[in-house]
Amino acid sequence: MTQLALVIDLNVCVGCHACVTSCKEWNTSGPAGFMTDENPYGKDPTGTFFNRVQTYEIGEFPKTETVHFPKSCLHCEDAPCVPVCPTGASYKRKEDGIVLVDYDKCIGCRYCTWACPYGAREIDEQQKVMKKCTLCVDRIYDESLPEAERKPACVLACPTSARLFGDVHDPESEVSVQIREEGGYQLMPEWGTNPSNHYLPRRKTRMHIHEDELQRADNPLKKEQRGPSAPVEGTTLDDSTSW
């Protein structure tokens, strides 16, 4: 079975919001209709977004570290938002595991937002239906696009390649290898939602210089305790001959 998902590398993300803007651009221009913006140039701009980048400071000054944390629908394998939907508008696709909302069936009752522990769903204040990340389902299967571009808009936009896209059920896929080898983890594992999106943790890049590398420990002269010999007094062979 296929389960498409994103893997987000927190070690690489620089918090530039390119994924946010490209997501909004692609999805507001798509066949599903615009994504509402209220007050876009006013005092308190607000609107519908599928993806947001948050910033956290870890630790206390001066020992701090900044983590940029992109957050969107995690396409849970056991998605709690799906069974609660009274109309069946919220559903999980069998063929690729993407959790979607049928905007024509949604009644905007907000029950699914209560049932999502991650706050991944937002109601569109003008269209009054629930919206969320679609993993760019209208893009990843579009055969009119070159194959390299059949990826979610956020993945293509990321300048540092912090976002990877693929099938997390295929053990040999790039995303599975990254999760396995770089310590990929899920958010709020305590609720058993089994999110498909994974995050790769911050990794410290440290230079390890051992003393051995500066001074050879296995120098044979040292091993035999035989240093260079002391200068000889009087005349030596070198003084009487010229080679």
Q: What is the DSSP letter of 132?
A: -
- Tell me whether residue 120 or residue 140 sits nearer to other proteins (CB atom): 120
Shortest approach of other proteins to residue 19 CB, angstroms? 11
- Tell me whether residue 28 or residue 186 sits nearer to other proteins (CB atom): 186
Interface with other proteins by CB under 8 A: which residues?
20, 39, 42-47, 49, 52-60, 66-67, 69, 71, 80, 82-89, 105-111, 113-119, 122-123, 125, 127-129, 185-191, 199, 201-202
- Tell me whether residue 66 or residue 161 sits nearer to other proteins (CB atom): 66
CA atoms of 184 and 194, how far apart (whole Å): 13
Paired tokens of 140: 């990843």
- Tell me whether residue 43 or residue 226 sits nearer to other proteins (CB atom): 43
| Terminal Cα-to-Cα distance of the chain (whole angstroms) | 83
208: region left, alpha or beta (phi > 0 left; psi from -120 to 50 alpha): beta
Shortest approach of other proteins to residue 211 CB, angstroms? 31
Shortest approach of other proteins to residue 18 CB, angstroms? 13
- Tell me whether residue 51 or residue 140 sits nearer to other proteins (CB atom): 51
Shortest approach of other proteins to residue 153 CB, angstroms? 17
Query: Which own/partner contact pairs does 67-72 have at CB distance under 8 Å and 24+ positions apart?
Result: 67/10, 67/202, 68/10, 68/13, 68/14, 68/15, 69/10, 69/13, 70/8, 70/13, 70/19, 70/20, 70/154, 70/162, 70/163, 71/118, 71/120, 72/6, 72/23, 72/120, 72/132, 72/133, 72/154, 72/197
Shortest approach of other proteins to residue 194 CB, angstroms? 14
The CA dihedral of 225, 231, 236, 240, to the nearest 10 degrees, is 130
Shortest approach of other proteins to residue 91 CB, angstroms? 10
Shortest approach of other proteins to residue 56 CB, angstroms? 5
- Tell me whether residue 149 or residue 192 sits nearer to other proteins (CB atom): 192
Strand partners, 72: 51
CA atoms of 83 and 121, how far apart (whole Å): 15
Tell me whether strands 37-38 and 46-47 are parallel, antiparallel or unpaired: antiparallel
- Tell me whether residue 110 or residue 222 sits nearer to other proteins (CB atom): 110
